[in-house]
Chain A
């Protein structure tokens, strides 16, 4: 008897439909700072636990800018971008049990199988099964994290969601049903940045009376500030250099703000604000650009990049140096390579705790939806731009250059 492989079984249903006009629009990375909305074939079920989502709203994430600017070598021209998206389920694979056609769902950005050891521990962004390129990630990072939609081949080479349709693996684990009475804008950010900001605050272990400082007032920083208040912080300080972002942090998220371009020393201002103690917890919502890769030549290229980037982990160093003795440094800004001059002496001698991770989105979706429904949190305040999917290239450009007071771009696909 010849045993058939399961993926061959999946392939047996596969109709070769030579481009018969079944095309969708998708935002394709064609090279650094070259984003083109192109027509590509519709996605199909590849595994029997997949579903296909017809996308209604999708957003550009700050971490997409690392890809946009060409800092990740594991990109191929033609890769479809996007990991923040929601829409309607239009097709399900044979083995999908819970999700049905017609469900309105928000899709979490990490792809998780729900069955491995990491998923059992609710560490969904560490899923052990969802990255088909895990062997490359292992060479570079030691072990592999989960697969991620539209986020380079290092995290699996999955087509992303800045498109009209997307194929979503493990449909019963990821896609999260949302009530019809909430708008897309209210629930879209459950896919990434709202849980990411919330997890950044949660990792701090905030106690009543605590002061929290947040580096970066981009969308994730804004949500980290708001979440720190929700979790009981007495005072939250936001640090950035764009006046419109600081204004949003003050007026919409309730932060005390510092424009780091207008002060001599951020740690001194923080000491002043906390009467010498320093913030009890510091959140790095900036991250660093730069990238390494297991293959030798790329490794050298990454080293070269790191020399260009020696100033970039400034936020992290400053967060460590500013943090109160015994405090927590929570890192949710994305780091993609090696960093230089890491102040380990401050971390060790002052009993600091560093907590970090790509957000385990799945575990926060229900509790955060509850907070939205109870009116404790309105995530729509960060949206500054709505535009049709076809204008994605312009969206990337203004978000990257911080033009038109751009904080968050939502693309409407339908």
Chain B
């Protein structure tokens, strides 16, 4: 699991193993400007300010150019964080919460993770073992 910090709204979410940035955000009740969700249109791009992402699925250079990759631009429907990441969305992305219930679950997951990591290492070990 990794933490995704979304800017400028300053929202923290927990990304699951192998999950693209878009999947995490939508699962946690948010919407933003997206297109095909298949890496073909480039509409869901955002800037990675820190951390690393990888692309398990092939992405066309015409959609995400090597120069963009070098500059930290990510195609959020395909980019899978391999570390904690800070992602900055543009104003045009219109990131907003549409399902507060799902975000509530996301927050519980996040605080659970934080507590497990910082306050209860035994429980964290149990969870992994179980």
Same complex for A and B? Answer no
On B, residues with C-beta under 8 Å from A are none
On A, residues with C-beta under 8 Å from B are none
